[in-house]
């Protein structure tokens, strides 16, 4: 078995760069071609899975966790806040993503060691 030509760390850096580029392109092309934007999200996910990296949090919230479509607030999604959560509604698959905004501190967090 031969060794890869590029070290793993460099592969991950390149992959992250490509993922960011794909999300930029998805945003730029969304108004013209939604299917192409969705394809860019699929490619970005494939790259992340291939090199075993996480998609950055700010980018991860730009696509639906259920149907993996690119989300544009006001066009195919709705963003609301309610009871300490951000709720993102996808109009494509009719599902919700609930993201907590504030983590509740327990009594232990205030105690000194």
CB 101 within 8 A of CB 81: yes
Residue 33 — left, alpha, or beta (φ > 0 → left; ψ -120 to 50 → alpha)?
Answer: beta
Q: What is the reported pLDDT for 36?
A: 97
More confident residue, 25 or 1: 25
User: Between vectors from CA 6 to CA 68 and to CA 20, what angle results, nearest 5°?
Assistant: 30
d(CA 38, CA 23): 10
**Prediction pTM value:** 0.83
Mean pLDDT score, 71-75: 95
**CB distance 96 to 51 below 8 Å:** no
Give the integer Cα–Cα distance in Å for 9 and 111.
40
- Residue 74 confidence (pLDDT): 94
pLDDT tens profile 94-112: 999 999 987 666 665 555 5
Please state which of the four CATH numbers 3.50.40.10, 1.20.5.420, 3.40.190.10, 1.10.10.10 is assigned to the domain occupying 8-110: 1.20.5.420
pLDDT value, residue 59: 95
Per-residue pLDDT tens digits for 41-67: 999 999 999 999 999 999 999 999 999
């Amino acid at each position: 078995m031969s060794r890869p030509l590029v070290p793993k760390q460099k592969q991950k850096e390149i992959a992250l760069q490509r993922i960011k580029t794909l999300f930029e392109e998805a945003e730029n092309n969304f108004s013209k071609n939604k299917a192409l934007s969705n394809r860019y999200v699929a490619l970005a996910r494939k790259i992340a899975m291939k090199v075993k990296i996480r998609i950055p949090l700010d980018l991860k919230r730009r696509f639906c966790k259920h149907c993996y479509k690119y989300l544009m607030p006001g066009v195919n999604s709705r963003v609301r806040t309610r009871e300490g959560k951000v709720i993102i509604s996808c109009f494509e698959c009719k599902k919700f993503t609930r993201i907590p905004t504030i983590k509740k501190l327990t009594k232990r967090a205030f105690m000194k060691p």
